[in-house]
Amino acid sequence: MRIYLGSDHAGFELKNAAAAHLTSLGHDVTDVGPHVYDAVDDYPPFCLETGRLVVSDPGSLGVVIGGSGNGEQIAANKVAGVRAALAWSKDTAALGRQHNNANVVAVGARMHEEAVALELIQIFVDTPFSEDPRHQRRIDMVAAYEADPRGQVLPAEPKKV
């Protein structure tokens, strides 16, 4: 599987470890950057580009890594077609794929020991989408909003309480 990796300075070392780990498992890995450690770099360009590459390469996955993973997930999710999930446990790593067909995983390098973070990434990569119709229906609802944010969202008007 082709996997794109992007990070910032806080995720730089884990990104490099993830690249080596995923390559050793036979995956086709592309390092989006950064390619050198820079203590003051910013995550948005690397996460946005990771998302763009994933969307332009159907069937691929992306991994974005920062200190907490939160900003990286937010940035990746700004790319139309990205469904980025923040993995902070084995269950969230698996459920992001099973229920949401997430195509990008965000991991916080400062939140986990390296071995645990690599395990979360591997669980995400190894877990297939369940293809359950109720989960696909929900994904389709989000995609419809993404395509037309002015369209109807709720089936009825909100009720003042």
- Indicate if 99 belongs to the active site: yes
Asked whether the beta carbons of 144 and 151 are under 8 A apart, the reply is yes
Residue 50 to residue 133: CA distance in whole angstroms: 28
Q: Which of 9, 21, 72, 112 is catalytic?
A: 72
List the one residue out of 31, 124, 105 whose CA is nearest residue 64.
105
- Indicate if 135 belongs to the active site: no
Q: Which of 13, 99, 119, 135 is catalytic?
A: 99
Asked whether the beta carbons of 114 and 14 are under 8 A apart, the reply is yes
Asked whether the beta carbons of 14 and 117 are under 8 A apart, the reply is yes
Helix (H, G, I), strand (E, B) or coil at 158: coil
Residue 39 to residue 9: CA distance in whole angstroms: 5
- Long-range pairs for 146-150 at CB < 8 Å and ≥24 separation? 146/80, 146/81
* Residues marked as catalytic: 72, 99
